[in-house]
Amino acid sequence: MAQREYYSDTIEAFLNASSDEILGKLTANNAFDLDRTQRDAWVQEISILKSVLLNRKGSIYFEYSIPRMGRRIDVVLLIGPIIFVLEFKVGEKEFTASAKDQVWDYALDLKNFHESSHDLYVAPVLIPTNAKSASPVIALTSHHDKLFLPIETTIQLLGKVLDDVLIFAEGQEIDKVKWEAGRYCPTPTIIEAAMALYNGHSVNEISRSDASAVNLSQTSDAISEIIRYSKSHSHKSICFLTGVPGAGKTLVGLNIATKHIDKNNDLYSVFLSGNGPLVEILREALARDKVRNEKEQGRKLKKAEALSDVKVFIQNVHHFRDDCLVDETKPPIEHVALFDEAQRAWNIEQTANFMFRKKQTPGFNKSEPEFLISCLDRHPDWAVVVCLVGGGQEINTGEAGISEWVESLVRSFPNWHVFISARLTDSEYGAGKILEVIKSRPHVSYKNELHLAVSMRSFRAENVSLLVKQLLDLELAGAQKTLLEINEKFPIVITRDFSKAKQWLKEHARGSERYGIVVSSQGQRLKPHAIDVKSPMDPVHWFLDGKQDVRSSYYLEDVATEFHVQGLELDWACVTWDADFRYDAKEWKHWSFCGDRWNHIKKLERQNYLKNAYRVLLTRARQGMVIVIPMGDAVDPTRNPLFYDPTFEYLKNIGFRMV
């Protein structure tokens, strides 16, 4: 197993070793150019700990790697039953909020994702080396998982802090060998995953691989094998990868794309998405991360340059399409195209309408799936299209669903090899009937590896997406049973009070765990609660900026709709339920607010879009959520309490706890 730290030993051996010897090992294991600032920091940390740890027993680790975060903990101490996470701020005087979140995040990462740390006490400790005074508070968080609140201390008080924590938490001494052998099973957000993959990590390094989840590397390997097979046999192939919300479809696509990022390699691939906010957010996150990494290595890189590189890796599917329109005979440079959320590609009517209005191309007669396949079909030798398909995710007018991809193959591409997830026949994918047609054609293979059945979004409970499906499908008994199974690990509460909901979010989020308010784009009668779905918000700032930025999700002022959050996630979500989607007489009623009144939505397609919008909103949280159903207002006919009360009662009957 690869060594996670630059230096480790027993505390006794650390105390007996010279500072130069310890510094030599730290330097030897550091893969980057060592600057004077880092060297001086290590020298000071070693000196402090040699004094503080006198007469103590345990183990010490310098620069302990946190794989999911791409960062290193300054020092980890195993003393008695406690894991101490020490963050030194050399030369600093203040206990800043960002430094407090940093050490908390490190402790949370160990607690949540390091197997042998799950059930142990973890104490994050922040030490600005020039701080003159501190009032350390020794207390556990309210989550009942043996994690301490961040402890702020000076150098002079550090020894007493260690003693106080050890008195507070009794237990058996940690087994050093067992602790070191524990697997690291991270569940990153899609933003964190994209950064890790772009920086050279493999998908198995940053994803769970436990028995309850299909290993994402198996799925990636299956697609890679199809790509290799297609190239070696000069075939053109299409894969349909399915999965429940949060199962890791996008992660698999990004993994394949990063494996084949070299333009000079004929396996060169591109990750394409029609989800504008997702593309914009991932690009910005990767560019910021690249600039930060370069700065840490003493090199200066302008963000515009970083963005230029990233834009080649992740492209908007509509821009890819437009490039292919310029010369309708020339194949794209890529032989492999991965289409995220392929079910959202446009049907013939939507594509033709767009081409006529925006591209001055009248008479365009192909759907987006058919045209995109035709672009890759221009290659004289081989090509692979990978469709990443979410069930019940179509949320906008003109989204064709997956059946249009299959119909395009039937109509225009008889010689393409087709690799299908064995679950594409399930009802939520809407492809059952057309798959009957394709069954008789040659070169059709079904592969179990092309379905991801377990949500990886929530590392606390896998069945959140099942609960949401049962809730929306009005399967009361099933929803009640599933809720009982997950509620201890994944809290979901309901309320009618926005202030209580906001307070609940703030109390549950720890460190830099992200929280925010999400709402249906049709929820237009939430204005009395200072929620205006028509007010423009910037998803980049909302998802990426910190707690001090009023544009960030943390401020709980700007809200995100299903269009902003699809494919992304929050740690803690506040889902606000308006009267557009109402429970009434044991069925859902679908409404749209126009002018001064609610109008009943009669078109089945639009009803499905609205239901899917709530499916997206209710499956964004990784750790828990609060659902707000407003009280309504008896004197406001557009917010009649009867529009809201039955929905609240339905959720209460499922068993959601009220706050």
Look at residue 209 and tell me whether its pLDDT is greater than 60: no
pLDDT tens per residue, range 439-489: 778 888 888 888 887 766 666 667 898 999 999 999 999 999 999 999 888
87 part of a folded domain: yes
Name the region of 565 (left: φ>0; alpha: ψ -120 to 50; beta: rest).
alpha
The pLDDT-based confidence of 536 (bands split at 50, 70, 90) is confident
- Does residue 237 sit in the same domain as residue 331? yes
Overall size of the chain counted in residues: 659
Q: Which amino acid is located at 50 in the chain?
A: K
Q: What is the DSSP letter of 262?
A: -
Given 452, 478, 496, which residue is the final one in a domain? 452
* Range in 61-75, 205-219, 282-296 with the lowest mean pLDDT: 205-219
298 part of a folded domain: no
3-state DSSP call for residue 263?
coil
3-state DSSP call for residue 114?
strand
**Of 23, 20, 15, 56, nearest to 6 (Cα)?**
23
Report the percent of the chain where pLDDT is more than 70.
Answer: 90
264 part of a folded domain: yes
In this predicted structure, what is the pLDDT of residue 210? 47
| Residue 224 near residue 259, CB atoms below 8 Å | yes
In this predicted structure, what is the pLDDT of residue 544? 95
Query: Average pLDDT, stretch 278-307?
Result: 86
Instruction: Give the 3-state secondary structure of 285-328.
Output: HHHHHHHHHHHHCCCCCCHHHHHHHHHHHEEEHHHHHHHHHHCC
Higher pLDDT, 422 or 98: 98
> Pairing state of beta strands 7-10 and 314-316?
unpaired
Look at residue 425 and tell me whether its pLDDT is greater than 80: no
Burial per residue of 226-254, b for 16 or more beta-carbon CB atoms within 10 angstroms, e otherwise: bbeebbeeebbbbbbbbbbbbbbbbbbbb
Tell me the HSE value of 20 on the side-chain side, using a 13 A CA sphere: 0
In this predicted structure, what is the pLDDT of residue 398? 61
Residues forming beta bridges with residue 148, ordered by sequence position: 140
The pLDDT-based confidence of 404 (bands split at 50, 70, 90) is confident
In this predicted structure, what is the pLDDT of residue 386? 94
Q: Give the position of tokens 């939505």.
A: 601
pLDDT tens per residue, range 294-311: 887 778 888 888 888 888
Burial (CB count within 10 angstroms: exposed 0-12, middle 13-18, buried 19+), residue 152: buried
Q: How far apart are CA 193 and CA 247, in angstroms?
A: 13
- Does residue 490 sit in the same domain as residue 631? yes
| Residue 368 near residue 342, CB atoms below 8 Å | no
What is the dihedral angle through the alpha carbons of 379, 271, 217, 373, rounded to the nearest 10 degrees? -40
- Does residue 223 sit in the same domain as residue 135? no
- Does residue 161 sit in the same domain as residue 88? yes
- Does residue 384 sit in the same domain as residue 351? yes
Count of domains for the chain: 3
296 part of a folded domain: no
Within 10 angstroms of residue 215's Cβ, the number of other Cβ atoms is: 18
Residues forming beta bridges with residue 600, ordered by sequence position: 591
Query: Average pLDDT, stretch 602-624?
Result: 93
176 part of a folded domain: yes
- Does residue 371 sit in the same domain as residue 446? yes
Within 10 angstroms of residue 645's Cβ, the number of other Cβ atoms is: 17
pLDDT tens per residue, range 112-143: 889 899 999 999 999 999 999 999 999 999 88
pLDDT tens per residue, range 228-271: 999 999 999 999 888 877 778 888 888 888 877 666 666 678 88
Q: Phi and psi at residue 355, in whole multiples of 5°? A: -60, -35
Mean pLDDT is highest, among 218-222, 487-491, 648-652, for: 648-652
> Pairing state of beta strands 581-584 and 587-594?
antiparallel
pLDDT tens per residue, range 50-101: 999 999 999 999 999 876 556 789 999 999 999 999 999 999 999 999 999 9
Q: Positive or negative CA dihedral for 64, 65, 69, 70?
A: positive
303 part of a folded domain: no
In this predicted structure, what is the pLDDT of residue 212? 45
| Residue 416 near residue 443, CB atoms below 8 Å | yes
Q: How far apart are CA 227 and CA 336, in angstroms?
A: 8
Residues forming beta bridges with residue 418, ordered by sequence position: 238, 444
Look at residue 211 and tell me whether its pLDDT is greater than 50: no
Query: Average pLDDT, stretch 341-369?
Result: 82
Q: Kindly state the helix (H) or strand (E) to which residue 533 belongs, with its residue range.
A: none
> Pairing state of beta strands 236-243 and 417-421?
parallel
| Residue 582 near residue 589, CB atoms below 8 Å | yes
Within 10 angstroms of residue 27's Cβ, the number of other Cβ atoms is: 14
Look at residue 287 and tell me whether its pLDDT is greater than 50: yes
The pLDDT-based confidence of 206 (bands split at 50, 70, 90) is low
The angle formed by the CA atoms of residues 647, 650 and 656, to the nearest 5 degrees, is 110
3-state DSSP call for residue 71?
strand
- Does residue 492 sit in the same domain as residue 585? yes
Query: Average pLDDT, stretch 606-630?
Result: 95
305 part of a folded domain: no
Within 10 angstroms of residue 551's Cβ, the number of other Cβ atoms is: 16
| Residue 74 near residue 63, CB atoms below 8 Å | yes
Q: Quick one: how many helices (H) and strands (E) in the chain?
A: 23, 22
Burial per residue of 502-534, b for 16 or more beta-carbon CB atoms within 10 angstroms, e otherwise: bebbeebbbbbbbbbbbbbbbbbbbeebebebe
- Does residue 489 sit in the same domain as residue 612? yes
- Does residue 472 sit in the same domain as residue 448? no
493 part of a folded domain: yes
| Residue 279 near residue 316, CB atoms below 8 Å | yes
Q: Give the position of tokens 């194949």.
A: 331
- Does residue 55 sit in the same domain as residue 159? yes
Q: What does each C-alpha distance from 277 to 190, 269, 284, 442, 458 come to in angstroms?
A: 13, 21, 10, 39, 21
Query: Average pLDDT, stretch 428-432?
Result: 55
Q: Give the position of tokens 């609060």.
A: 626
Query: Average pLDDT, stretch 343-353?
Result: 83
Given 452, 484, 509, which residue is the final one in a domain? 452
The pLDDT-based confidence of 424 (bands split at 50, 70, 90) is low
Higher pLDDT, 254 or 47: 47
Sequence-ordered list of residues with C-beta below 8 angstroms from that of 384, at least 6 positions apart, any chain: 226, 227, 230, 236, 237, 238, 239, 335, 336, 337, 376
Q: Positive or negative CA dihedral for 270, 220, 469, 431?
A: positive
Q: How far apart are CA 130 and CA 127, in angstroms?
A: 9
**Of 227, 273, 233, 219, nearest to 384 (Cα)?**
227
Write the CATH number for 382. 3.40.50
- Does residue 105 sit in the same domain as residue 69? yes
User: Across all residues in the chain, what is the average pLDDT?
Assistant: 88
Distance separating the N- and C-terminal Cα atoms of the chain: 46
Structural domain for 372, as ranges: 213-274+314-452
Query: Average pLDDT, stretch 378-383?
Result: 95
| Residue 469 near residue 260, CB atoms below 8 Å | no
- Does residue 117 sit in the same domain as residue 256? no
* Range in 49-58, 333-342, 613-622 with the lowest mean pLDDT: 333-342
